[in-house]
Each structure stands twice: as structure tokens, then as C-alpha cells.
Amino acid sequence: MKKTGNILRTVAISTAIALAFLVVISGPVSAEYVADLTVLWSSGLSDNVNAVFVADLDNNGQKEVIAGTRDNKVFLLDSNGNTKWSKTVGSAVTQVYAADTDGDGIKEVIAGTDYNDLGKVYAFDTNGNLQWTFQTGAKHYWPDNKLNVRVIIAGDVDNDAKEEVVVGSTHYYWFPSRICVLGENGILEGEYWNPGYM
Ligand SMILES: [Ca+2]
Ligand SMILES: [Ca+2]
Ligand SMILES: [Ca+2]
Ligand SMILES: [Ca+2]
């Protein structure tokens, strides 16, 4: 029996075949119809694509694509795959997201890095200007502060009409894990340390 697939609006993926390429596809998705997916565009980036997020940052009806690469770069691409800007951060980018941290209606580009950068979070405006950073790596339950940012999500968790950035970080080798809730300007509004891996 055929499965009826959901219509994929716009999905960005990094492929295992072309590691440095970002490929955007659209079409109905089901096990039977994967071959029907159409490549809308592909964009060659500088290194392996570690993370991708799609959002209409500026509410103009066109979605932008945020991508983070192994060679420490954050890219913002337009809806046709053209690079609007790229910025270099302190180490490999592990996660990217979009969040309106200051409540002005425009989403910021959020990126997290690995333990070589002590698990930092970077926020850029839509023009690529750095707005703030926050280091999630800290000594707690373990004698060093080498945390990887593993998860970033956002939402208005305290009803102040500004989205908080919620970051999950884990030690690169051992167990300590940390959840940070970052408010406007990257201010730490809440945190939780777990002695084990999360
Ligand atoms: Ca847009
Ligand atoms: Ca904003
Ligand atoms: Ca809030
Ligand atoms: Ca807040």
C-alpha cells in the first residue's frame, strides 16, 4: 500500500555524497517517491555542513537558510542559495538556529560551536553583525570546561515577547551536561547542570 507523504515545503539537507554542498529539495515525501524529489538549487560551501536551519528571518515571505560548517563558518543564504554573508567563529559549528532574542520582529542567526571554542553561542543580526556571544563551557562536576554545543532551540519561555535561546551542551569526552537559557544580549537567565550525559 502506498503511503501518502507530506508535502515538503523547503528542506535543506547536507548530503553525505557532497559534503560541502548544501542541497535544497522539494516535492512529496514517501518511501516510494523519494526519487521524485527535485533539486531546487545547491550551494558549495567551504567545508562539511554540520548544521542547517531554515527560517524567514526578516518576515518578507522568503525563507533564508542558515548553515554551519566544520571549518568554523556560519553562512546565511537567500532562498535561491546565494550567500548573503559568512562569518568565522572560534571552532567548528555544531548547531544553528534562528530566534528573535530582542523582540523586534526580526530573527537573529544563532550558532553554537564545539569544545575547541568551549561551546560558545554566537548571535548575528541579519546583516551578519555580531550581537553577542555566550560561553557554555564551564567547570562543573569535572576539572575542565570543554563542552560541545549539541542542541539549540528557542522560544519565549518567560512571556516577555522576546525569544530565549535554550542551549544544551555536553562535555566532549566525559559526562557533565548543561542547559542554558539565554535572554536578550545573551544574558544567562537560567541554567541546569546534570552530572550525566544528556
Ligand atoms: Ca526572508
Ligand atoms: Ca530580533
Ligand atoms: Ca522571553
Ligand atoms: Ca527573557
Ligand with the closest atom to the CA of 160: 3
Q: Provide the 10 A C-beta neighbour count for residue 181.
A: 16
pLDDT(117) > 70: yes
Question: Rounded to two decimals, what is the model's pTM?
Answer: 0.87
Q: Identify the band that residue 33 occupies on the pLDDT scale cut at 50, 70 and 90.
A: low
| pLDDT mean over 59-85 | 95
The alpha carbon of 147 and the centre of ligand 1 are apart by a number of angstroms equal to 32
Strand, coil or helix: 184: helix
The alpha carbon of 105 and the centre of ligand 1 are apart by a number of angstroms equal to 12
Ligand with the closest atom to the CA of 158: 3
The alpha carbon of 162 and the centre of ligand 4 are apart by a number of angstroms equal to 6
Q: Nearest 5°: phi and psi at 184?
A: -55, 140
Q: Which helix (H) or strand (E) holds 10?
A: strand 7-14
Ligand with the closest atom to the CA of 84: 1
Query: Can you give 126-183 as a three-state secondary structure string?
Result: CCCCEEEEEECCCCCCCCCCCEEEEEEEEECCCCCCCCEEEEEEEECCCCCEEEEEEC
Ligand with the closest atom to the CA of 182: 4
The alpha carbon of 164 and the centre of ligand 4 are apart by a number of angstroms equal to 6
Residues by chain with Cβ below 5 Å of ion ligand 2: 100, 102, 104, 106
Closest by CA position to 107, among listed 122, 121, 125: 125
Range in 27-36, 61-70, 142-151 with the lowest mean pLDDT: 27-36
